[in-house]
Each structure stands twice: as C-alpha cells, then as structure tokens.
Amino acid sequence: MNDTVHQLRCIGCSRVVAQAEVRSDFRCADCGELFEVEYPGWSSAPASQAGGLTGANGHNGSSQAAVLPAVSHSGPRAWMPNASALRWLWKERRHSAQSIDQSGVWRFRELLPILEKPNDAVTLREGNTPLYGMPRCAEAAGMERLMAKHQGMNPTGSFKDTGMTAALSVARERGFDWVACASTGNTSAAMAAYAARAGMRSLVLIPEGKIGWGKLSQAMDYGALTCQLRTDFDGCVQVLAEIVQRYPIYLLNSVNPYRLEGQKTPALEIAEELEWNVPDHLIVPGGNLANCSALGKGFQEMKHLGLTTAVPRISVIQAVGANPLYSMIASGARELTPVHADTRATAIRIGNPASWRKALRVIEQTGGYCEQVTEAEIAIAKAEIGREGIGCEPASAVTLAGLKKLVADGRVMPAENVVLLLTGHALKDSEYTIDFHRGSLLGAEEGRGFEASMAVMRSTMPVLDASADAVLRELEAGVRS
Amino acid sequence: MNDTVHQLRCIGCSRVVAQAEVRSDFRCADCGELFEVEYPGWSSAPASQAGGLTGANGHNGSSQAAVLPAVSHSGPRAWMPNASALRWLWKERRHSAQSIDQSGVWRFRELLPILEKPNDAVTLREGNTPLYGMPRCAEAAGMERLMAKHQGMNPTGSFKDTGMTAALSVARERGFDWVACASTGNTSAAMAAYAARAGMRSLVLIPEGKIGWGKLSQAMDYGALTCQLRTDFDGCVQVLAEIVQRYPIYLLNSVNPYRLEGQKTPALEIAEELEWNVPDHLIVPGGNLANCSALGKGFQEMKHLGLTTAVPRISVIQAVGANPLYSMIASGARELTPVHADTRATAIRIGNPASWRKALRVIEQTGGYCEQVTEAEIAIAKAEIGREGIGCEPASAVTLAGLKKLVADGRVMPAENVVLLLTGHALKDSEYTIDFHRGSLLGAEEGRGFEASMAVMRSTMPVLDASADAVLRELEAGVRS
C-alpha cells in the first residue's frame, strides 16, 4: 500500500489516518463515520488551482508515474498534472495487451494510486462499458436526446465490479487470504468473482431463508463460503463487524472506501467518450448511495485536475418503497432516518444506506436532485429501456422513471445532455422481466392508473396452430399495433 | 448490399449466386445446401498468394477502403492487402468514439465487407471480449497454461451477438422491417436485442410448452413477438421457411451466412491480442456447429491475407446426449444422422445441426478433433471455470471437459497454447449452477464415479446461529479443506 500517495479522511470529523491505521470495520474511531480516500499530492488542493498545466515531473521513469507528482509533505502543492499527457496516456493504453491496461478501471490508475504495484491488480477486464444513445427513451421522457452508461456490461453483470477490482486488489496487496461481505446480490457476486480470480477465499453472510437463489448463484459458482445466519440483515452486518476484528479477513462491504475509487472511473470513461466534455446531468439509482458518491468524486477530481472544466449535476432516484434519502431531503432533516425497505428493484432495496452523507454532499455540491418513483413507474421504464435493445435490472430503470419526473416539472430541460447510469444486466433478474410481460408483476393497486401504459409495453406470447397463416395473422396484428 | 465485393457460394455444389438472388430460406436452389460468403477480390485467391504486400490501392479515399482492393472481375487477382496497414488501422480504431469502431466486429470491417454503408451497422458494441488466463483450469487439464476467450461477455450474454450485428445489419440495409428465427435461447435474445436497437420488429417461433422462461425473458424484454406453435422444433423451422417465402421477413436462423461473418471476428481478436500469432489449438462447443465454421473461416482468411502465418487446430466438443457430429466421425460415415438431443447444456442441445458440413471441413482442414463429454464431466468443468472467477453457461464448459480428454490421450501436449471458446455468460442459466451446488443437478447414475470430484467443487451454504464464533468455525473448516 502506498502511504506516501494516499490517505483516508473521515467524512464526519475530517480526521486523517494513514491507511495502515484504519480500523478493520472502516469506521472512524472518533466519530464512527466513513472514510474517503484522498491523495495529498493533488486531490485536496484548492479547486482554484484546477487546470494548471505544469507538466510531467519525470520521477522514476515509469510510464504510469510520469504525469502525476508524488506527494510532497514539505511544502505547498506546487505540482499539478499535465492533463493532456494524462489523456494521451489513457488513450494509448487502449492499444496495450496488458490486462491492467485493458481494464477500464486501471487504465486510469494515476487517479487511483492505491496500490504499491498496480501491475498486480486483480482484474477481470472490468469497465470500458458502452455509452449508448437512447432515442426512444429520450422521446418517452420528453428529451431531445439521451444517453445511458451501462455498467451492467461488466464481467459479473453489475457496476460493483469496478469497485471490487480496486478494493480486492488492496486486500491482496495487504496479504489477506479472506474477504467478506454481507450481501445477497450484486456485491457478493462481484466479491466472489474477484476473490476467485486472485486465488483468495470469500465469505458471504446472509439472513437465513432470505435467499434469492438466482442472485446467489454467482457467488456459489465462484466458490464463496455462504453462511445463512439466524438473524436479519443488520444482524449479519454486526456479526461481520465482530469477525473482521477477530480474524484476518478483509471487509468489502460498501463502507470500504477503496471500492469507491474504482466506482469513480465510469465518470472518467464518460468524460473521455465525450472528448473531455461532461454531460449536463448524470442520473443514478439510489440504494446504498456509494455509487453516487463515487461518481461525484470522479467528476470533481477531474475538474480539479484540469481534465474537464465542469461537473455535471448528479441526481439520485430512489424507489418509493426504499426512499430514506428522499424522505430526509423532502422533510428538511439533516440526519437520515432508516426505513423498512420494500421494492421489487432488489438492488436498491436498502433502508439504511451507509453512504448517505457522501451522497448528500455530492447532490448538494453539484446542484442535483433526489426523486422517488413507484413500482409501476419502474416497470414501465424498464420495459422502455428494453425496447432500445438494452436490458437492465429493475433498479437501473429508476433512472429513466426519475428523469421523466424531472423533465415534467422543469428541473431538467429537453435540450440538456443527460446520462442515465444503468447499474445491472437484465439477466440479473429474469423473473422480474417475465412477471412483467405475463402481467403478474404488480398488484392491482400498484398498477392503478398505469394499466394502459403497461399493456402497450407487454410482449405477448400467443399459442397458435403450426401454420404460416396463423403466425402471419399475429404478425400483421403486430404491424397494426 | 455490395454485390461487387461479396457473393455467396454453395458449400454443397459450389454454385455461386449474387446476394440478391439467394432464396429467402438461404438454401441452394440446386442442392439444398448452405451458402457461405466469399469475397472474390481476395478470399478465394490461392492460398499461395497469402502474405503479399502490394499495398493500398487508394480508391475512393475513405479510411476503411484504402487497404483492401475492390473486386476485379476482369483479370487475375493482382492485389493483395497490406497486412501491416490493416493491423494498424484496426488498432487505431480503438481510439475512436464512433460506435462501429467500438464494435469488436465492425472494427475489422475490411474482412466482412457485406454492407454498402458500414457506418449504418446496427451495433451494441459487441465483441472486444476478454482473453483470460486460466491457471487453475490449466492445472486441472494437465496443461502448462491455458486461455479462454469469453464470448459470454457480449451485450446479451452470448457469442450470438457477433453474428447478429452482421446479419441484422444486412436485413436493415435490404429494407426489411421484420426479422425471424426459431429458437428458445441465445439466438432469440440476440436477434430481439439487435432488432430493437435498429427499430425493427422480431418474430420468435417456439414449440408450445417448451419454454425456458429465463432464456426467453430477454426476447420479451426487447419486444419480440413470440409465438408458441402446436408442434415440435422442426415443425417451427418448417413454418418459418414458409413464412419467409410469403412475407417480407428476414430469416436469422443459423443458416443465414452473414451471421458467420460476424462470428468469425473473435478469431481476429485472438490473433490481435497475441500480437498476430495464433494459438496451437482452439476448442469450441459443438451445437449447431456454425461457430466452429465461422472461427475456422476467420483464421483461414487471416492466413490467406498474410495477417498470420498459421491456422490453429480447431476442435469441437459435443455433449454425449447431443453428439451427431461425434457419432458420424466415430463411425466413419460421411453423412450426418440426426439424433434425439438431450443434455442440460441447453445451448448445444441440438440433434440436427445445420452447419455440420462447414464444421467438418474446418476440423479436417485444421487437423482438429471431435470429442464428446458426459453430463458429470460438463458439470465439474463448469465449476472449475467458475473457480477462476469466470462464470459461463454449461455449454461453454464442454471445452474444458473435452480438453482434459485430448490431453489424457496425448492428442494435446501440455506445452501447447490452447484457447477455450466460452460461448455464454453464467447468468444465462443460474438454475444449473444452483442445482449443481445443492447436489440436485445429476441423477445417481449420471454422477457415478464422479461423486468425490463433484463434492469437492460444491459451494456449501450452512445455516448458523448469528454469532461470530459459529461463522469462524465454518471459516476455519474451509481453510483446512
């Protein structure tokens, strides 16, 4: 680990600790809040210095270190990176046959110098995900155009891979054999995959009986030890906190600040794809809220370094049934009150999000919004995204549903450049898709007022005689519809 | 469409037709066999001309046309492409923000000039899939090293995407509004996705009641019209053949020769990744056998053009329960006898593969083998691949299971460079994974002799009291095991 380059700062009391001193539960010993990674050489310099182009410092001759300075503890931060050189370097790595260059996370490793030996990073070639144009969804939302950054195209099918390659590589560099999380979904899949890739072991804690078998199949495939505990989810988190203090096992829950360093890289990819412009607005699903926090950090660091000249608004959309951040902001409170979470968008079914302070800060600093959407609105939005030829898991679809609301009341203008952040692949939750198209997803009360909108999005599956005539009649009915 | 650049040749009677003359069922009017795409300007020139470096011909000034000649009908084929220029061009496109350059299929469009306007290709940024090192699987197979090209990392989760971007783009350029296939699996998912992307409609025919809902969820998501017919799979194919003759609907079953043009591009990616060397041996799953055919064509064309100097052996592995090619070769027959197909590896559960002649030719020309593996061997191989942190659907795992047999009897030497072709993502069949780890996948008879091998690969899921002690006991047992 690289103490000379990065340190951890508590987001509650601003206490700074060297990485080796952080508690194994990644909570501040003073105030109990979370840490974030900062790079004294550049990340905490005043924003007014952004855009400096003082050039490469040439230290140590390695191609990856030539454009960002080592930290200087002895005086003012005189060095700023050469933004053009960074852009060039990251682009050239697209030609490389090295696995870390082929990773959409480690290709940008100058902005996440958290490893002593980045060449040893544990990677599955995550990142480099597509930024799709979404013409039909744009129309549905009343926008002139719309883009979607699809993090579900990562190796295990969710955005968690970008964070996991970062944090698990830290775990391996620190010599751990075991990693752990409490999760029934995308986090456990990503953790187990990267642990297997590294030749490490992984432990998943879940509440007894609360098993989504589909969601856990990946963790099993990758060889995780999954323990069902006779308690609820919070109980699992508590047991895990004790375990990591008693046994050398590295915690990979979302409190781990290194995960966010990987999860900020989609911001870099978006900016690079737009030739170092940024969109006006980025819309992300709101579950544990680490993703919003990470992307905000990515955009803010890029601007600070002079790679871009602006930061997009970053908005968070929650499901009505799992809306603690929305409720807090709507009520004017400054502390989050956990809720009992209930939504079919399982990836954001989180009532007590660990990263709410970080996310709130990003929303406020960027001028974003927090909105909530119903189950019916989510279902329709997911079907609309599907009709673009792009599948996503239900949680991803809150972004389009939320955008519609922001456009409808004028918070987003039709001419703005908006990017939706899709977090998971459609195959992560096939049953949801099937239930929607068979008409069995929502109860009558949940669907009230949306019956016609849902009916028109449903793909039918008629049973016919085995004749071309029968099929052609259906087809022609389809043409007319 | 580009009649001056490509034509179709029947693999049975060698009849050549211009693309516009081909029957809508893509069968030869004379002998009923399949067609393959050839490029008179270069693909059918004698192999002895390969490696010529006569340089760019400069016609029309577009970057994509500058390094391959237009066809000359008037004389001997005097032009061969400049291999170095092609390699450079394909590499430079990695820097491009254009969607067709970001596609791992259309980045190589000089080798599949099937569109008048390649810029209009329908793409989801397919291809550019990872080539993973597989150290633990290498050990399991008795190899010094092993690689896997993971086509399951394509947008819809299977290798079908590379073929579908090619053939569906042809359909759109020819003015079709509808496309169709008979499929319950990966083909329908890919077709529906690309049709949706293009704003076209898609028709899927399946036998009534034979529904794998998970496999069909994607086609529904992408808005396909799925008709269940009161017949079997062959009956669906017959109805479809009549429909495409009566209605302007474009057939996208595996008989469509343009699909293979897209499916050959992973061969180019493998060669490029290995710095224009080729592996000694490529091992692919054998279902409808189009994939083997396409990859063989890709490697042979590269060698012919002087991009590479060799073609790997290409071997096909079938499941014992769906082994018509294996049976034919083993019995010394020269005509394939269809079998009743029965295997849990659903993506290769095909008893009457359309492309067997093409595949046989590739196996014979490259010196490859055809092998068969049991359900237990497939299950163990899939778990071993999973333990690398890389999920795949069961059909993909026949490659590793088959490699073990080829190594065991000396047909593959431990020092050879072997690439396994993984065809589908683990999330395509979560139930298989779950059943394996719960011990309910195979009957006692199927698993006989493999009980211990399977037990050691199974991920357990114990139910425990909510205490750190209980979890740590399990964990320490895991460490000892």
Q: For the segment A99-145, what is each residue's pLDDT rounded down to a tens digit?
A: 999 999 999 999 999 999 999 999 999 999 999 999 999 999 999 99
Q: H or E stretch including A220? A: helix A213-221
Nearest CA in chain A to B213: A434
**pLDDT of the residue at B63:** 39
Residue B3 C-alpha, separation from nearest chain A C-alpha, in angstroms: 30
* Closest to A226 measured CA to CA, from A176, A192, A193, A256: A192
**pLDDT of the residue at A2:** 54
**Cα A264 from Cα B131, distance rounded (Å):** 25
Nearest by CB: B213 against A229, A386, A434: A434
What confidence tens digit (pLDDT) does each residue in A81-103 have?
A: 799 999 999 999 998 989 999 99
Residue A44 C-alpha, separation from nearest chain B C-alpha, in angstroms: 31
Residue A332 C-alpha, separation from nearest chain B C-alpha, in angstroms: 37
Write the DSSP string, B218-252.
HHHHTT-EEEEESS-HHHHHHHHHHHHHHSSEEE-
Range name among A238-242, A431-435, B66-70, B205-209 with the lowest pLDDT average? B66-70
**pLDDT of the residue at A478:** 76
Q: What residues are paired with B464 via a beta bridge?
A: A229
So what's the ipTM on this one? 0.92
What confidence tens digit (pLDDT) does each residue in B29-65 have?
A: 999 999 999 998 887 543 333 332 223 333 333 334 3
Assess B242–A contact: CB distance below 8 Å, yes or no: yes
**Cα A396 from Cα A417, distance rounded (Å):** 19
Residues of chain A with Cβ-Cβ distance to B124 below 8 Å are: 130, 132, 389-390
**Cα A303 from Cα A278, distance rounded (Å):** 10
The list of chain B residues with pLDDT below 70 reads: 1-3, 44-80, 480-481
Question: CB–CB of A281/A312 below 8 Å?
Answer: yes
Residues of chain B with Cβ-Cβ distance to A431 below 8 Å are: 213-214, 217
Nearest by CB: A218 against B124, B132, B391: B391
Distances (CA, A) of A16 to A3, A113, A274, B406: 12, 17, 35, 58
Q: What residues are paired with A422 via a beta bridge?
A: A150
Residues contacting residue A421 through CB under 8 Å, at least 6 positions apart: A148, A149, A151, A159, A266, A282, A283, A284, A285, A291, A295, A396, A399
Mutant choice from A88, A206, A220 vs B, greatest count of B C-beta within 10 A: A220
**pLDDT of the residue at B44:** 56
Nearest by CB: B475 against A198, A203, A425: A203
Residue B355 C-alpha, separation from nearest chain A C-alpha, in angstroms: 25
| Termini Cα distance of chain B | 61
CB contact under 8 A, A459 and B224: yes
φ/ψ of B327, rounded to 5, equals -65, -40
Residues of chain A with Cβ-Cβ distance to B271 below 8 Å are: none
* Closest to A269 measured CA to CA, from B108, B164, B160, B125: B125
Residue A89 C-alpha, separation from nearest chain B C-alpha, in angstroms: 12
> Which of A 49-108 lie inside 8 A of B, CB atoms?
91, 94-95, 97, 102
| Termini Cα distance of chain A | 60
CB pairs under 8 A between A and B: 266
Question: CB–CB of A184/A211 below 8 Å?
Answer: yes
Assess A235–B contact: CB distance below 8 Å, yes or no: yes
CB contact under 8 A, A227 and B156: no
Question: CB–CB of A284/A299 below 8 Å?
Answer: no
Reduce the DSSP state of residue A349 to 3 states and report it: coil
- Choose between B31 and A65: higher pLDDT: B31
- Model confidence at A54, pLDDT cuts 50, 70, 90, reads very low
Mean pLDDT, chain A, rounded, equals 90
- Choose between A421 and B60: higher pLDDT: A421
Nearest by CB: B239 against A216, A383, A471: A471
B178-182 and B249-251 strand pairing: parallel
Residues of chain A with Cβ-Cβ distance to B229 below 8 Å are: 463-466, 470-471
Nearest by CB: B428 against A136, A219, A427: A427
Mean pLDDT of A422-439: 95
* Closest to A322 measured CA to CA, from A297, A359, A283, A351: A351
Mutant choice from A102, A225, A272 vs B, greatest count of B C-beta within 10 A: A225
What confidence tens digit (pLDDT) does each residue in A347-396 have?
A: 999 999 989 999 999 999 999 999 999 999 999 999 999 999 999 999 99
Q: What residues are paired with B182 via a beta bridge?
A: B205
What confidence tens digit (pLDDT) does each residue in B129-169 have?
A: 999 999 999 999 999 999 999 999 999 999 999 999 999 99
**Cα A367 from Cα A347, distance rounded (Å):** 25
Any idea of the CA torsion for B349, B355, B360, B362, to the nearest 10 degrees?
-110
**Cα B49 from Cα B72, distance rounded (Å):** 16
Helices (H) and strands (E) in chain B, counts: 18, 14
φ/ψ of A123, rounded to 5, equals -135, 145
**pLDDT of the residue at A55:** 31
CB contact under 8 A, A459 and B213: no
Question: Running DSSP on this structure, what letter comes out for residue A440?
Answer: -
CB contact under 8 A, B468 and A239: yes
